[in-house]
Structure 1
Amino acid sequence: MSGNAKFRWFLLAPIVLALLAIVTSPVISWVGELEDAQEQVRQNPNDAGAHYHLGISYSEVGQYQNAIIHLKKAIQIKPDLAKAHHSLGFVYQKNGQYQEAIISYKEAIRIKPDNADVILAHINELEKIIVKIRPSQPIHEPPEKQFVSVGTGFLFSKGNYIITNYHVVKNSGSILAKFMNGETVKAKVVAKDIRGDIAVLKLTDVPPFSVAQIKLGDSSQARMGEKVFTIGYPASNLMGERPKYSEGVINAVTGLKDDPAFFQVSLPIQPGNSGGPLFNQRGEVIGITTASLSSLAIDAMGAIPQNVNYAIKSSFVKNLLSTVPDLMLSKLMLANTGIVVIPSEPKNSLPDFIEQVSKNIVLIETRE
């Protein structure tokens, strides 16, 4: 094996173990992987490897502050653990802490300098971003964020209920739903499907403005090649707190390992998109955007994943809604009404639909 190949294997092999647990699972379950990693730390609190894998697991569900804590702990226990420095740089980069990312990347190279071209490419990219964002200002460490997780959710009716991913709100002490106008309303979990990674929230107060009723479509009727789109809040700490639109197609009607609970879709899913609605061209929600196959899968696939994303099907959402003890909710869930996109009619164009339905899309922020 060449030196270049050995170095890449050194960087990627430790995190492939976490990936393989996902690939072999019957359902994409970052939540289950996180719980396993948490248990390993409880059993081995002084094990650098345990903290490292917990940090990676937190990173996969977008809880970057917790990921940073445990990757730092791994480094504290074993300062020459190059993979932890490299992963810490990756998490800092995802969290928008570019200067800290560069420091961690450079430390990984110092410990393991062989063929560091991959890490140097990250460093060069970050240095360009820093210059572009702050051309004449000193770089300061960003303030510690109060929230521990962010994602997207959507109100599907006028009953103040929100649908999102369970991993967005898992272990949260408080949940805030932020609307387009910047107002926030507290919410609480009223139903959850841990295995399916679905949660139903209820607002503790009425929304700041009237929202539309969205139809939950029949995901069993969706076909490969069908166009779909989502609206959400990707990387809101960097890209801003206005909803973003992205579109694609259904690549497959099954997920990893042909899991029937998921669609594979080509529309981009970034950290923060989790929990957003997956619309078909009729304006029906046929799924929830859930996860992406990240660059951490490079070794298992033999190549960098190109826009491989997944959404849980709406049929599983409906199953969970039927468990909520609210008769009005059940009627709304079964109602065959909703907004419909009819591009041929000016009053029902796609931009009009997006403008109207964006009022239903909320930024979910959770705190410990």
Structure 2
Amino acid sequence: MIKAHISATALPDKFAVRYRMRDHQEIGSTAILEEQVLSIHLPTASKPDSIQLIKVSPAVETRTSPEPSHPERVRISGTGFVCGDGLVATNYHVIDGGRTWKIFFPSESKSFALRLVVADKANDLALLRLEPDSGALPKPIAVIPSTGAELGAEIFTIGFPLGDLLGRDHKVTTGVISAKSGIEGDPRVLQVSAPIQPGSSGGPVLDGSGRVIGILTSTLNADYLYSKQRHIPQNVNFAVKSEYLLMLLQQQSDSRTYFPALAGKARTDQIAELLGSIGQISIEE
């Protein structure tokens, strides 16, 4: 279910919004982008309200005056993982704004250029193709529907949170599936308790058998929730359900040879096998 349609206006930080309420009534409103937080005003009949949205992404460089042309700037943007024959999945917001993209697999000390294959902006997903100079491609990780995932089931994630600060090695976090929907019952996402940070975006959410059931995308805006309820959320994070990635993969004709079954193996052994297929994405702007 699509909750809102957001359209650009003549002003760079102002947007027109068509928002669907819980009763399915669609209302018109406006949104303002300030310091990477999108605030949507909701003029409901009972009382005015607002929501704020934020994505997990590195801070955007702010320029107060025009600058002369410079060589392209390269920055670490997020996480990606191999999920098809030479295909890498990540969030759309991880690659948005880039001229070119690269992925670095630290466990193999290999880098590959990436070429965009398909983007699903509505669900914050993108598929890119590895452009190897030589050598074998990383093996794809199995992706399964999230429908079989149960509340409270243990999950783990592998990625590169705060990559500029914490370095280029893989980081592992663990948690559980806290809910099978997002804000106001958004059915496209899972809520997970695994801690995430900027740089985690695009990383896989893996079940107990080492299979992808979601793609990390965002965290709840702590400042907004505190302003509304005087409460700071703890580990309220969201992942796009794997079904939306599977739909993109089904559009490709690639044959996929997945890892042998990791079920029953110790978590440390599963992680050791998966590391070679999860990399850090950088973009050239």
Structure-2-length-normalised TM-score:
0.77
In 2, the alpha carbon distance for the partners of 1:251 and 1:323 equals: 31
Is 2:11 aligned against 1:40?
A: yes
Larger radius of gyration between Structure 1 and Structure 2: 1
Q: Identify which of 185, 190, 195 aligns with 1:258.
A: 185
Q: Identify which of 163, 169, 174 aligns with 2:95.
A: 169
Kept after mapping to 2: 8 A contact 1:218/1:315: yes
Q: What displacement does 1:211 show?
A: 2.5
Q: Counterpart in 1 of 2:277? A: 360
- For residue 172 of structure 2, what is the amino acid of its counterpart? Y
In 1, the alpha carbon distance for the partners of 2:101 and 2:94 equals: 10
Is 2:60 aligned against 1:65?
A: yes
Q: What displacement does 1:209 show?
A: 5.2
Is 2:155 aligned against 1:228?
A: yes
Kept after mapping to 2: 8 A contact 1:183/1:208: no
Q: What displacement does 1:339 show?
A: 3.9
Is 2:270 aligned against 1:342?
A: no
Decide which structure has greater strand share: 2
Q: Identify which of 14, 24, 35 aligns with 1:55.
A: 35
Q: Counterpart in 1 of 2:25? A: none
Q: Counterpart in 2 of 1:244? A: 171
Q: What displacement does 1:212 show?
A: 2.8
Q: What displacement does 1:40 show?
A: 2.6
In 1, the alpha carbon distance for the partners of 2:262 and 2:152 equals: 18
- For residue 305 of structure 1, what is the amino acid of its counterpart? P
Q: 1:61 to 1:247 in 2, by over 3 A?
A: closer
Q: Counterpart in 2 of 1:319? A: 247
SS at match of 2:272: helix
Kept after mapping to 2: 8 A contact 1:191/1:323: no
Kept after mapping to 1: 8 A contact 2:86/2:138: no
Kept after mapping to 2: 8 A contact 1:254/1:261: yes
In 1, the alpha carbon distance for the partners of 2:152 and 2:10 equals: 41
Q: Identify which of 302, 309, 320 aligns with 2:237.
A: 309
Q: 1:248 to 1:208 in 2, by over 3 A?
A: farther
Q: Counterpart in 2 of 1:296? A: 223
Q: Counterpart in 2 of 1:146? A: 73
Identity %: 29
Kept after mapping to 1: 8 A contact 2:203/2:216: yes
- For residue 228 of structure 2, what is the amino acid of its counterpart? A
- Kindly provide the CA deviation profile for residues 70-112 of structure 1, in whole angstroms up to 9, marking residues without a partner as x: xx57xxxxxxxxxxxxxxxxxxxxxxxxxxxxxxxxxxxxxxx
Q: Counterpart in 2 of 1:219? A: 146
Q: Which runs of 5+ in 1 are unaligned?
A: 1-24, 45-51, 74-143
Q: Counterpart in 1 of 2:203? A: 276
SS at match of 1:299: helix
- Kindly provide the CA deviation profile for residues 311-344 of structure 1, in whole angstroms up to 9, marking residues without a partner as x: 00111111122223xx2x2x43xx7x5443334x
Q: 1:42 to 1:217 in 2, by over 3 A?
A: closer
Q: 1:210 to 1:352 in 2, by over 3 A?
A: farther
Q: Counterpart in 2 of 1:139? A: none
| Number of equivalenced pairs | 248
Q: What displacement does 1:210 show?
A: 5.0
- Where do 4+ consecutive residues of structure 1 move more than 6 Å? none
In 2, the alpha carbon distance for the partners of 1:207 and 1:354 equals: 26
Tell me how large the CA RMSD over aligned residues is: 3.0
Q: Counterpart in 1 of 2:21? A: none
Decide which structure has greater helix share: 1
Q: 1:61 to 1:280 in 2, by over 3 A?
A: closer
In 2, the alpha carbon distance for the partners of 1:207 and 1:306 equals: 44
Q: What displacement does 1:217 show?
A: 1.2
SS at match of 2:195: coil
Q: What displacement does 1:255 show?
A: 1.0
Q: 1:360 to 1:255 in 2, by over 3 A?
A: same
SS at match of 1:40: coil
SS at match of 1:195: helix
- Kindly provide the CA deviation profile for residues 13-52 of structure 1, in whole angstroms up to 9, marking residues without a partner as x: xxxxxxxxxxxx727xxxx87x74x8532789xxxxxxx9
SS at match of 1:264: strand
In 1, the alpha carbon distance for the partners of 2:203 and 2:275 equals: 11
SS at match of 2:144: coil
SS at match of 1:223: coil
Kept after mapping to 1: 8 A contact 2:56/2:197: no
Q: What displacement does 1:55 show?
A: 3.3
Q: 1:163 to 1:247 in 2, by over 3 A?
A: same
